[in-house]
Amino acid sequence: MQLNVEVLNNAINCWSELANMITHAQNNIEIFPVSTAQGTDTLQKLPIASIAELNSIILHTGGISIDNGWLRILGSGSHTLPRSIYTWNINKTFTEDSSPKLLYIADDVLGGFFTLNLGGLGNDVGIVYYLAPDTLEYESLDMTYLEFINFCCNGNIEQFYQDFRWSGWENDVLLCSCDQAFSFYPFLWTKEAGYMNQVSRRPVSIEEIFTLQQDFRKQLRIP
């Protein structure tokens, strides 16, 4: 499949705005590098072409770390963040023969997944949702992709996660790679979870976290 020239040009043209936002961000931000070839290849493979800012992140980054790895925005993959937005979504939100109705664009160490609605979560196409680990439900953030990126750069991350940060989380996050999230016990969505300081946790594969959550959603019949 050949990459549309207009899509490529739009992705290139809006990078200066995104790079300026990231450079002057109030929050701790780290861009993971990517080669032009890898960025172009990922952009070409992803079956969605209408969001220039998303395409620009894919083309220019291997991913982005927020708050020393607490939150990870997916790009084209890197040594530090091996998952690209394509490899993470293929066979989850789309197949080689189908187009996505939603797209996982970022995740955090709690096992929360930020999701772009492409029609599968309601009529508000283009809005970012959060698959929350404490409810296992998709919750609208009322943000576009660009607004989500701006929130990651300049928003109140501490307030967003105010009930889910424990004493010493800053050091624990450093032990959790970008391909992992914390497995909590009791599960955060149970009433037994209680306070975060009382919950046991250990880093495990984020694929394992995702699969487990999807299984529980089916068992609990969460739409």
- Asked if residue 34 is part of any domain, the answer here is yes
pLDDT recorded at residue 5: 87
Q: Do the domain assignments include residue 206?
A: no
**Residue 39 included in any domain:** yes
Question: Which pLDDT value is given to residue 1?
Answer: 54
Write the CA distances from 121 to 45, 135, 142, integer angstroms.
23, 16, 13
For the chain, the first-to-last Cα distance in angstroms comes to 34
Which structural domain range is residue 49 located in?
A: 5-159
pLDDT of residue 4: 82
108 class by beta-carbon count within 10 Å (0-12 exposed, 13-18 middle, 19+ buried) = buried
Number of domains in the chain: 1
Residue 45, in any domain of the structure: yes
State residue 49's pLDDT score: 74
Residue 23 lies in a domain: yes
- What CATH code is carried by the domain that includes residue 97? 3.40.1580.10
Query: Is 141 domain-assigned?
Result: yes
The per-residue pLDDT for 163 is: 93
For the range 172-176, what are the long-range contacts, defined as Cβ-Cβ under 8 Å and sequence gap of 24 or more? 172/201, 173/67, 173/68, 173/69, 173/70, 173/109, 174/68, 174/69, 175/203, 176/69, 176/109, 176/203
Ordered mean pLDDT values, 10 residues apiece, the chain (223 residues): 80 95 96 96 89 96 97 98 98 94 98 97 97 98 98 98 96 96 96 91 98 97 92
Q: What is the 8-class DSSP label of residue 123? A: S
- Identify the pLDDT of residue 48: 85
Is 219 contained in some domain?
A: no
Q: Is 128 exposed, middle or buried (0-12, 13-18, 19+ CB in 10 A)?
A: buried
**pLDDT value at residue 128:** 98
- Return the pLDDT at 2: 60
Which pLDDT score is estimated for 212? Answer: 97
Chain center to CA of 27 = 17
DSSP string, 92-116: TTB-TTS--SEEEEEEETTS-EEEE
Q: Report the alpha-carbon distance of residue 222 to residue 128 in Å, rounded.
A: 19
- Asked whether residue 191 is domain-assigned, the answer is no
